Amino acid sequence: MSTNLAIQNRLDFLAVNEETRSALQEVLPVIEEVLPQALESFYAHVGRWPELIRMFGTEPERIKAVMAHAREAQGRHWRNLFSGRFDESYVASVRKIGLTHSRIGLEPSWYIGGYTFTMNFIFAAITRYSYSNGISPEEGQQKANKMIRAVTQAIMLDMDLAISIYIEENKNTYDKKLAELAADFDASVGKVVDAVSKTANLSVPLSPAIHGSQESSLKDLSVSSIECVPVCIWRDSEHHRVRFRHGRTCCSAREGV
């Protein structure tokens, strides 16, 4: 996966270093403490948006269960992220988020909004922690800055990866759908071409209007006649139909006949 390969580059660009990792290790227990409350408020907030509730299901029991699962999973993911390891298990987790949110159609604007919600809890907890235990204001400020910086680096990385995977997956789904449509179209056109050539061989009258004779057939027409060029091919419930340049429509035999 391209995102997997690019993670080190992203970490470097975000200037994630040893200082970041050690700040994250210190802040993790602080975050753990407020995480349940942050998640509870977040899902209560999500529950006020009907277009979001629908993503969890239609039956109240189902919605409750899926929300509980998402909440649990999100909690695990935040812990993994703020461990500062940024290892394979972290990449697998972020990948799953991108894939799941792409599958349910959760657009990035909602997802980004979701981060803001939890971030507010985390930053408030960091400020409380940094200025506690009789620490001097200068020391407190330094500590808070270090932690806020590390948390912001981690969150930006996480958002970037999850949204990149979301976009990649949306594109894969779109390409797949397009390939299926193209294959379906090819198959349909193939049948029409067969049907037209059978019609020609059976000498079905096609163009009496321009040739002035009810007896004229496609065989009778010059094959190179510009007027015999099909301009539109489509299928209705039972037949393939071809419209020729001269404006007449030819209807193929019933499908499968």
C-beta of 108 vs 190, nearer to ligand HEM: 108
DSSP 235: E
Amino acid present at 6: A
In whole angstroms, the minimum distance from the beta carbon of 154 to ligand HEM comes to 11
C-beta of 169 vs 227, nearer to ligand HEM: 169
On the 0-12 / 13-18 / 19+ scale of CB atoms within 10 A, 159 is middle
In whole angstroms, the minimum distance from the beta carbon of 228 to ligand HEM comes to 56
C-beta of 100 vs 216, nearer to ligand HEM: 100
Instruction: Kindly report the number of other CB atoms within 10 A of residue 97's CB atom.
Output: 21
Are the C-beta atoms of residues 227 and 207 closer than 8 Å to each other? yes
DSSP 253: P
C-beta of 34 vs 52, nearer to ligand HEM: 52
In whole angstroms, the minimum distance from the beta carbon of 75 to ligand HEM comes to 8
C-beta of 90 vs 129, nearer to ligand HEM: 90
Residues that bind ligand HEM (CB under 6 A): 46, 52, 55-56, 66, 69-70, 73-74, 77, 96-97, 100-101, 104, 106, 110-111, 114-115
In whole angstroms, the minimum distance from the beta carbon of 144 to ligand HEM comes to 23
- Residue number closest to ligand HEM, CB atom: 114
Q: Which of 175, 153, 158 is nearest to 98 (CA)?
A: 158
As a whole number of angstroms, the distance between CA 51 and CA 248 comes to 49
As a whole number of angstroms, the distance between CA 41 and CA 181 comes to 43
In whole angstroms, the minimum distance from the beta carbon of 70 to ligand HEM comes to 4
Q: Which residues contact 126 (CB under 8 A, 6 or more apart)?
A: 27, 30, 144, 147, 148, 151
